[in-house]
């Protein structure tokens, strides 16, 4: 039986909780829509991958990541006030998109795609939070390894071609993923 190691294609299911198994459930990944990714490609949290090393098909896992091994502390510098002009399109403000509680896709001055949570909408200023939504949280995963196999040359090329994504899971935190294509998601919870 093949075990998880570098360049393994891993298919798994999991439930993700905040703090512990009795905490608030954040994400449910069922067998009907499992997460598939190339182990060791850097698309998952490093500590998450470390805990999966050596597991085999059919094995269950329980992983607790403290916030420092997940998305870190909330960074006060990632909460910013931006002039409303940043949000004008053809001179108009879209109040349906830019409203408190919405995630708004944006781009930094160097072209990096970011997602910001709208905290407050003022007449001249929009207060945004660019922290990962799970920053400051300890994460607890309970899951099962469904398939472990060697990656094909095509899969290895897809991950090494500069795209940061490659997993085929449609993340429920889609707006927080930092993917280079519409059909693959990573960087959210795992």
Please give the pLDDT value at position 161: 67
CA 101, CA 94: separation in Å to the nearest integer? Answer: 14
* Cβ atoms 112, 42 nearer than 8 A: no
Overall average pLDDT of the 80-109 stretch: 92
Share of the chain above pLDDT 70, in %: 84
Please give the pLDDT value at position 110: 87
- Continuous H helices in the chain: 46-52, 153-160
Is residue 33 exposed (0-12), middle (13-18) or buried (19+ Cβ within 10 Å)? exposed
Beta strands in 78-138 (DSSP E): 79-83, 88-89, 92-93, 103-107, 113-121, 125-129
Overall average pLDDT of the 147-169 stretch: 74
What domains lie within the chain, and their CATH numbers?
Answer: 8-71+137-176 (3.10.50.40), 76-129 (2.40.10.330)
Name the pTM for this structure.
Answer: 0.74
Q: Express each pLDDT in 1-44 by its tens digit.
A: 789 999 999 999 999 999 887 889 999 999 999 999 999 998 89
Residues 6+ apart with CB under 8 A from 91: none
Please give the pLDDT value at position 140: 96
Please give the pLDDT value at position 162: 53
Q: Express each pLDDT in 114-125 by its tens digit.
A: 899 999 999 999
Which CA distances in Å does 77 have to 7, 60, 73? Answer: 36, 39, 11
- pLDDT bin (cut points 50, 70, 90) of residue 109 is confident
CA 16, CA 142: separation in Å to the nearest integer? Answer: 7
């Amino acid at each position: 039986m093949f075990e998880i190691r570098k360049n393994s294609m891993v298919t798994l299911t999991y439930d993700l909780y905040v703090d512990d198994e009795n905490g608030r459930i954040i994400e449910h990944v069922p067998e009907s829509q499992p997460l598939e990714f190339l182990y060791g490609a850097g698309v998952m949290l490093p500590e998450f991958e470390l805990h999966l090393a050596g597991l085999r098909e059919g094995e269950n896992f329980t992983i607790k990541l403290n916030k420092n091994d997940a998305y870190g502390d909330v960074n006060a510098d990632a909460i910013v006030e931006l002039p409303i002009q940043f949000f004008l399109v053809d001179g108009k403000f879209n109040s349906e998109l830019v409203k408190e509680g919405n995630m708004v896709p944006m781009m930094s001055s160097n072209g990096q795609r970011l997602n910001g949570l709208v905290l407050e909408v003022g007449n001249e200023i929009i207060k945004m939070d660019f922290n990962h939504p799970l920053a400051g949280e300890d994460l607890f995963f309970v899951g099962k390894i469904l398939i472990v196999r060697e990656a094909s040359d095509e899969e290895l090329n897809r991950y090494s071609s500069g795209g940061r994504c490659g997993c085929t899971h449609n993340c429920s935190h889609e707006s927080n993923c930092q993917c280079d294509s519409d059909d693959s998601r990573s960087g959210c919870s795992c």
